[in-house]
Structure 1
Amino acid sequence: MTNDKRATDNKELVLHGLAEFAKGNIEVLRDLLHEDFIEHSPGNPSGRDAFIEFIAKSPVAAARLEIKRVITDADYAVVHYQMIPPGDDCGLAVIDVWRLVEGRIVEHWDVVQPVPDAAEIPHGMF
């Protein structure tokens, strides 16, 4: 498989997974995450089953996700989005970085920050 094909497949996989997750289908993570999934975000557990149990109880499970951009290559998918939990108008700006191997997410990093008031960011957050 060419690197361009893998990049396209990674993009489709991640976008499908995020769409399903945003609809409340947390079980989609069983298909997306490798059993030995490694999590680099502080406080979040590694391992597919432990991570799914954790994320199902977290605020992200009920949040609206507004994807702003997706960048992929043969091994990684990077997604920049706004996560808006119920009752929070501004939400959070999130960048997720996923490493994929053979159609499964094997590793995850993220950067998360509150979206400030629009007056503080004259060129926009997204």
Structure 2
Amino acid sequence: MSQDNIESNKALVRKFFQTVFTEHKVDEGLELLSDSYIQHNQMVPPGKETMRAAFKKGLDNVSCEIKQIIAEGDRVAVFHHFKFDPNSLGATVIDIFRIENGKLAEHWDVMAPIPENPPFPKPLF
């Protein structure tokens, strides 16, 4: 895969995050998913239409700040600070996407809540 393709894959993922989690434009963001999109997060419903309904109900107070994006081949990994509401500490999250034909085709993630009083405080980002 060429460096141009890797950069366009990163741009696609960046656009998805900006559109859905910053601008809260769910319909536009879901257009970036392939018709056969596979969701591996067991807390998110499968399929674009069920995701649309879930995202429209639950993203009003969400924020997301991307810290790193790493890409290789058809995979893009995003390390970010995610908050369900502005007053929370949020979570550190790593999302991994597989890109196919210029669309998000598959998704995995790992989320760790940021503790309020950690025994060994250090920078997370």
Identify the TM-score tier after normalising by the shorter chain. Answer: 0.7 to 0.9
Shift of residue 40 of structure 1? 0.5
Paired letter, 1:49: E
Alpha-carbon separation, structure 2, partners of 1:118 and 1:4: 42
Identity score, percent: 26
Aligned to 1:24: 24
CA RMSD of aligned residues (A): 1.8
Alpha-carbon separation, structure 2, partners of 1:37 and 1:96: 15
- 1:36–1:46 CA contact under 8 A, matched in 2: no
Aligned to 1:103: 102
Instruction: Tell me how many residue pairs correspond in the alignment.
Output: 124
**In the alignment, is residue 57 of structure 1 matched against residue 43 of structure 2?**
no
User: Do the aligned partners of residues 115 and 51 (structure 1) sit closer, same or farther apart at CA in structure 2, a change above 3 Å counting?
Assistant: same
- 2:35 aligns to what SS in structure 1? strand
- 2:41 aligns to what SS in structure 1? coil
Give a deviation string over 1:87-125, Cα, whole Å, max 9, x none: 533111111111110111111111111111364343322
TM-score (norm 1): 0.86
- 1:6–1:73 CA contact under 8 A, matched in 2: no
Paired letter, 2:55: I
Paired letter, 2:119: E
Aligned to 1:41: 41
User: Do the aligned partners of residues 121 and 89 (structure 1) sit closer, same or farther apart at CA in structure 2, a change above 3 Å counting?
Assistant: farther
Alpha-carbon separation, structure 2, partners of 1:109 and 1:61: 23
Runs (5+) with no aligned partner, structure 2: none
Give a deviation string over 1:18-68, Cα, whole Å, max 9, x none: 11221111112232111111110113222222222222223x453111111
- 2:31 aligns to what SS in structure 1? helix
- 2:91–2:111 CA contact under 8 A, matched in 1: yes
Which runs of at least 4 in structure 1 moved beyond 6 Å after TM superposition? none
User: Do the aligned partners of residues 97 and 121 (structure 1) sit closer, same or farther apart at CA in structure 2, a change above 3 Å counting?
Assistant: farther
